[in-house]
């Protein structure tokens, strides 16, 4: 009977010792990770220039992918749709990646770039036509026709 009591006491002490050790290492590692995360966050915030204003007219450069195709974005009342006109992108293939970037600022305004034509309320403006002329060159009439057909199909 005494052997059982001694064995039971040794088992309980062993379990308590193992539990305490595991708890100590878990809490110590957890607080160290939290401190590292907090320090990393503080460093990142310090690197940001929070005083620089950002507007929807700023150019965005994406270092990861190059914007490859001209895109038409049709904006109407806060909503919009986009397409890639084949006349302006003769090397475009629907089986390839689109390589298109549409970005919006915090107010929901589209951020423009040199390969984006923004059409408002399904109406081509003189500015749109000038931009298309610069891109299409000799294929201007064909490009305008393709874009207008797309506009009429989606109204």
| Residue range 68-121, pLDDT digits in tens | 788 888 888 777 888 888 888 888 887 776 667 788 888 877 887 888 889 888
Tell me which DSSP letter residue 58 carries: S
| Range of weakest confidence among 9-18, 22-31, 74-83 | 22-31
Q: What is the 3-state secondary structure (H, E, C) of 71-135?
A: EEEEEECCEEEEECCCCCCCCCCCCCCCCCCCEECCCCCEECCCCEEEEECCECCHHHHHHHHHH
- 53: tokens are 């204003």
Confidence class for position 12, pLDDT limits 50, 70, 90: very high
* Cut 0.95: pTM above it: no
In this structure, are residues 129 and 147 in contact, taking their beta carbons and an 8 Å threshold? no
| Residue range 44-55, pLDDT digits in tens | 544 545 555 555
């Amino acid at each position: 009977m005494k052997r059982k009591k001694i064995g039971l006491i040794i088992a309980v002490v062993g379990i308590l010792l193992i539990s305490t050790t595991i708890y100590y290492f878990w809490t110590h590692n957890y607080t160290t990770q939290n401190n590292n995360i907090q320090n990393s966050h503080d460093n990142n915030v310090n690197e940001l220039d929070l005083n620089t204003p950002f507007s929807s007219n700023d150019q965005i450069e994406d270092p990861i992918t190059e914007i490859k195709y001209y895109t038409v974005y049709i904006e109407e009342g806060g909503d919009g749709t986009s397409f890639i006109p084949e006349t302006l992108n003769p090397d475009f293939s629907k089986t390839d990646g689109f390589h298109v970037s549409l970005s919006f600022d915090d107010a929901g305004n589209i951020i423009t770039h040199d390969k984006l034509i923004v059409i408002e309320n399904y109406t081509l403006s003189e500015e749109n036509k000038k931009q298309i002329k610069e891109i299409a060159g000799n294929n201007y009439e064909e490009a305008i026709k393709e874009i207008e057909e797309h506009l009429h199909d989606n109204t």
